[in-house]
Amino acid sequence: MNDKVHLDHTHVRNLLTAMLRIRRFEEKCFELYTIEKIRGFMHLYDGEEAVSAGVFAALQPRDAIVATYREHGQALARGIGMNMLMAEMYGKLEGCCRGRGGSMHVFDRAARFYGGNAIVGGGLPLAVGIAMADKQLDPGAVTACFFGEGAVDEGSFHESMNLASLWQLPVLFVCENNRYSMGMALERAEAEPDIARKAASYRIGSEAVDGMDVVAVEVAAQRAIAGIRNTGKPYLLECRTYRYRAHSMFDAQLYRGKQEIEAWRKRDPILQLQTWLQQTGMMHEEEIARIEAEIAAEVAAAVAFAEAGTWEPVEELERFTLMDRVPQ
């Protein structure tokens, strides 16, 4: 564990709570999906929680967020309410996108959370545009753009890095390198698997960090964001992490062995932090149990909220579409 952020009791409690909220929320989503309460595609973040918890600890409300379809963690860490998020998962009107976005397209303008994006690499140009606007409207604000290592194969990654550097735009590019792009292992796809190094060709500063260590992620993110605010220049933070579950809800996972997953589970970010907190006496088992109980109640309330929610009336289907503007 790194000690360059101020690890007082409140701070570590917040980090642990942030990770546990994501994990427990998604465990419930998994259950709800199997009984078809949640439908469509759903991609879980199980194993990657330290990335969101660490990066968001370093962001401010004025900063903007762009994420991928694997974005429940970012949404919760950003403070999008669990009730509203669960209602969105259900497709209910009370969701943050009136149930029109679902798991993959969580969006909340008030939180400056600009998606949720199903297109691999699709968020990067959006982040560059938002940062360009912020540079004029709110100098010092940062846009944090999350994407998987699979997006690095896309032209949009290279175009976005290039423009962000040329135009000196305040983007924190956060690569969530979980080693697999669906069934494609990083080493089989990339001639240069060291993703952080790619930034150099755009004259962008970069760093790779252990994405299973929430404190290490936060320390790196604090440093990177402070640098962006001071210089206005972009930065690439590669977080080396792992997803334990299938790419989407189900896949045969023929691309990896069980032993590999088990080895990564031993480095689980929640387990690591809890063990460290207990060993150092910063937190006792009873307190962790209390946090778990609070989160269990929050998840149960979110499910009840979503269950009690309403469906958007069919008559409103064309609202917010171009059809809405066509004279009838």
Applying CB under 6 A, which residues contact ligand TPP? 70, 118-120, 148-151, 178, 180-182, 247
CB of 208 to ligand TPP, least distance (A): 15
β-pairing, 171-177 with 235-240? parallel
CB of 3 to ligand TPP, least distance (A): 30
The nearer residue to ligand TPP, 147 or 235, going by C-beta atoms, is 147
The nearer residue to ligand TPP, 17 or 253, going by C-beta atoms, is 253
The nearer residue to ligand TPP, 89 or 295, going by C-beta atoms, is 89
The nearer residue to ligand TPP, 83 or 181, going by C-beta atoms, is 181
The nearer residue to ligand TPP, 48 or 108, going by C-beta atoms, is 48
Segments in the chain forming alpha helices (H):
9-34, 49-56, 72-78, 82-90, 123-137, 155-166, 186-189, 195-198, 214-231, 258-265, 269-279, 285-307
Taking the alpha carbons at both ends of the chain, their separation in whole angstroms is: 63
Rounded to 5°, the CA angle 43-48-54 comes to 130
The tokens for 136 are 């004029």
CB of 25 to ligand TPP, least distance (A): 17
Q: Which residue is nearest to ligand TPP (CB)?
A: 148
CB of 147 to ligand TPP, least distance (A): 6
Task: Give the SS3 label for residue 327.
Answer: coil
The nearer residue to ligand TPP, 46 or 268, going by C-beta atoms, is 46
- List C-alpha distances in Å: 287 to 22, 228, 296: 18, 36, 14
CB of 107 to ligand TPP, least distance (A): 17
The nearer residue to ligand TPP, 120 or 295, going by C-beta atoms, is 120
Task: Give the SS3 label for residue 154.
Answer: coil
51 with 211: CB under 8 angstroms? yes
What is the edge-to-edge ordering of all strands in the sheet holding 171-177? 64-66, 143-148, 171-177, 235-240, 205-210
CB of 47 to ligand TPP, least distance (A): 11
CB of 260 to ligand TPP, least distance (A): 15
54 with 214: CB under 8 angstroms? yes
